[in-house]
Chains A and B, each alone.
Chain A
């Protein structure tokens, strides 16, 4: 017997009625994404500034002052005070009251004048590498700039030009290096995956847990009709989430959208489908709503950690990258960043679409095999 649109429609309609009655879940579907967007968008900053810094000055003079002034005005360092011994500096690093201690060695200014390239020691608390990294990277530029500015006239001529070469960094796509510009498009993938997988899984497992599935499959309804009927309403929820999200990204976080809207549209439709299929798969494994929640959460962690959302994809070891390639969020993340920030069109995201497509087929095949019409 063939697929019945009447039965599919009935399941769909029932699902909408239930969704409307379950106000808490409905509020969650819209409220959680917005909450997360604001939390992540405003709270996460991978380029932290104003880090507490102490200074140990064994030399005082115009050049030293110029160096410190340069560091202060860079916004990375926030001088909190002066230490008089190395032990005092170490203690401050250990107890966390300072992230950096700058040590100006004795005779620093004199050595600079003589062109001896003296050492300027920056002790950094690198227990959180991402917190220290940007500031450390910025330091040498700041110092050399400050020194050359402070030396004028005859003195300046005697000093060799500090660096024999210079590095030019050209920050593309996100010239200001704002974290929100990177985080917000990626967050769309994580949030869609979170709500889609979880809500679908729970909605289906609820039928099994409450005993309604038993009565449902005792009717002539086909598995595909149940699956599509239950999933379709959540596709619409995914649309609403995406629209809210893109609006907020634009209005609140000023994230650019320079690529082809059609490309993103195709991408997120496919992404919604793969997540719903994943939720369906979870529901065939879980025996209770609680288990479904836990399993769904378990699928979300890799989407956050291995997809390149939290940590750079290229920085992961080979096996982790292989794992990450099997995660739909990885590819959707690339799609959103390419389209929104780099101006990509449909042709540029073909590979990512194909990858999600393959993952979808695999998941659907496994899910349909597991969801049999019989109860055994």
Chain B
């Protein structure tokens, strides 16, 4: 199995003091996949990523990254992994070229100058190479970070919330770039809390409060949760929303503009509610295929906050 898996970890656990930040985490990332790592802020995504690339020693569990043991072979893992941190982590007081050149030296690359030049040309920053990195805009900083992670041609790219605080256009461009890299055979593990980015991934793992709630191919996730969703349209939708929240059988009501998505795991119960409501004739009810969005809202609401225990 391991040969096809870029990352394969079992039972990863990390404690900071009394808090268990990551709790018995299992994950398999197939080679060449775009793997979305979802969860709210502070759910342990960054800690998990750091453990998987050998930056952080887990308190429990084991696993491999690109065939190397994450406990003992972090040096080999580092040579083959590109890790893009959540914060801009290049030197703001160095120029763009100096930053790339420094990273190239850290990986002891041959023909360093040619590769830095190529990266600058790819970025379209060749004529601004002498500019200080700190003077770049947010979108450019993020592109430069990605370029510096890719400089040594890693087989695995770990991106920790790469698009946080970046404008929508830059986000779209960034995802185009990620798909291009994946098409070249690079495995990409990307953490995010944007639903619209999750949709772009081949696989998804959802983590909340240190525990993995679900993982699998993106299109299977709604089915795995077993959520039935009805779409409701009509006048005075706000009053209906409030009423439905009190109705047995309805587990979740999410509003998308003038439309309500009413969901529940008990399909029969929900169908009865829909039938009763449709009979009134004020609103139109349509059953629809459950999407990722409803699935994640459902997961979020169900996850217990185990960080608050014992505090």
Contact = CB atoms under 8 A, between A and B. Distances in A.
Interface string A2-13: 001011011000
B94 interface: yes
Contacts of A21: 93
A163 interface: no
A128 to B, nearest CB: 48
Contact of B94 (A6, A17, A215, A375): A17
Interface in A208-228: 210-212, 214-221
A6 B102 CA distance: 11
A211 B91 contact: no
B92 interface: yes
Interface string B4-29: 00000000001000000000000000
Interface residues of A, number: 26
Nearest to A213: B89
A221 B102 CA distance: 11
Contacts of B208: none
B90 interface: yes
Contacts of A214: 55, 85, 87, 89
Interface stretch (B105-113, B179-187, B244-252, B260-268): B105-113
Interface in B72-120: 74-75, 78-79, 81, 83, 85, 87-94, 98, 102-103, 105-108
Given A18-B91, A211-B89, A218-B78, A375 B56 contact: yes
A6 B108 contact: yes
14 contacts: A18-B94, A22-B93, A211-B85, A212-B89, A214-B85, A215-B83, A215-B90, A218-B53, A220-B75, A220-B107, A373-B74, A374-B55, A375-B50, A376-B56
Contacts of A178: none
Contact of B78 (A212, A220, A376): A220
B208 to A, nearest CB: 22
B102 A217 contact: no
A14 B90 CA distance: 12
B57 interface: yes
A1 interface: yes
A220 B79 contact: yes
Contact of B55 (A14, A22, A210, A218): A218
Interface string A353-376: 000000000000000000001111
Given A211-B85, A376-B56, A219 B106 contact: yes
B56 A219 contact: no
A95 B78 CA distance: 72
A143 B296 CA distance: 97
A14 B94 contact: yes
A256 to B, nearest CB: 43
Contact of A211 (B88, B93, B107): B88
A73 B297 CA distance: 93
> Which of B50, B91, B103, B107 has the most C-beta atoms of chain A within 10 angstroms of its own C-beta?
B91
B50 to A, nearest CB: 6
Interface of A: 1, 4, 6-7, 9-10, 14, 17-18, 21-22, 210-212, 214-221, 373-376
Contacts of A9: 105
Nearest to B88: A211
Contacts of B74: 373-374
Contacts of A376: 14, 56-57
A1 B76 CA distance: 10
A38 B179 CA distance: 64
Given A220-B75, A220-B78, A215 B85 contact: yes
Q: Which 4 pairs between the two chains have the least Cβ-Cβ distance? A: A10-B105, A215-B89, A219-B106, A211-B87
B78 A219 contact: yes
Given A7-B105, A214-B55, 4 more contacts: A1-B75, A211-B89, A215-B89, A220-B78
Contacts of B79: 220
Contacts of A14: 91, 94, 98, 102
B214 to A, nearest CB: 27
A4 B105 CA distance: 10
A115 to B, nearest CB: 81
Contacts of B102: 10, 14
Given A210-B92, A215-B89, A220-B106, A17 B75 contact: no
A10 B106 contact: yes
Nearest to A373: B74
Interface in B25-50: 50
A287 to B, nearest CB: 14
A220 B50 CA distance: 14
A1 B108 CA distance: 13
Given A18-B94, A210-B92, A376-B57, A216 B50 contact: no
A80 B272 CA distance: 108
A375 to B, nearest CB: 5
Nearest to A14: B102
> Which of B75, B98, B105 has the most C-beta atoms of chain A within 10 angstroms of its own C-beta?
B105
Contacts of A10: 102, 105-106
A362 B188 CA distance: 44
B108 A18 contact: no
Contacts of A210: 89, 92
A146 B90 CA distance: 77
A217 B102 CA distance: 13
A361 to B, nearest CB: 27
> Which of B90, B98, B106 has the most C-beta atoms of chain A within 10 angstroms of its own C-beta?
B106
A15 to B, nearest CB: 10
A150 B102 CA distance: 83
A374 B108 contact: no
Contacts of B108: 4, 6-7, 220
A7 B106 contact: yes
Contacts of B89: 210-212, 214-215
A251 B243 CA distance: 90
A373 B14 CA distance: 17
A220 to B, nearest CB: 5
> Which of A14, A212, A218 has the most C-beta atoms of chain B within 10 angstroms of its own C-beta?
A218
